[in-house]
Amino acid sequence: MVRYSLDPEKPTKSCKSRGSNLQVHFKNTRETAQAIKGMHMRKATKYLKGVTLKKQCVPFRRYNGGVGRSHSRINPYMSSPCHIEMILTEKEQIVPKPEEEVAQKKKISQKKLKKQKLLVPE
């Protein structure tokens, strides 16, 4: 059974996704996740497309020291098993109350109007 580290606030309005033992760069994945954390879905996809097209960049805030070349002193630690969890929650939309409408008069057909005129005594 899969156990998530975090339960969503509204389970009925959320979806969860999880990947285990993914061979990815841990540091790159962590910084990308921090960059899109809290974004709306459309904004996040637009941002990531900009990153792949090299129009925008992902800021490295934690793992930014010593990112240069090692000049063969050590082997690259490029990929390690990484576990990724993603939880998407639907945004709550506030719908304004409709204004109270003035009671409209019922439309009366021409046929009924003629009958009423004939029945009215003069």
- pTM greater than 0.95 (yes/no): no
pLDDT tens for 25-42 read 888 888 999 999 989 889
pLDDT of residue 70: 65
**In the chain, what are the domain boundaries?**
17-64+77-89
How confident is the model over 60-86, as a mean pLDDT? 74
Q: How would residue 115 be classed by pLDDT, with cut points 50, 70 and 90?
A: confident
* Residue whose pair of structure tokens reads 């960059």 in the numeric block: 35
For 74-83, which contacts have Cβ atoms below 8 Å and span 24 or more sequence positions? 78/25, 79/23, 79/24, 79/25, 80/23, 80/26, 81/20, 81/21, 81/22, 81/23, 82/21, 82/22, 82/23, 82/24, 82/26, 82/29, 83/18, 83/19, 83/20, 83/21, 83/22
pLDDT of residue 92: 83
How confident is the model over 62-90, as a mean pLDDT? 74
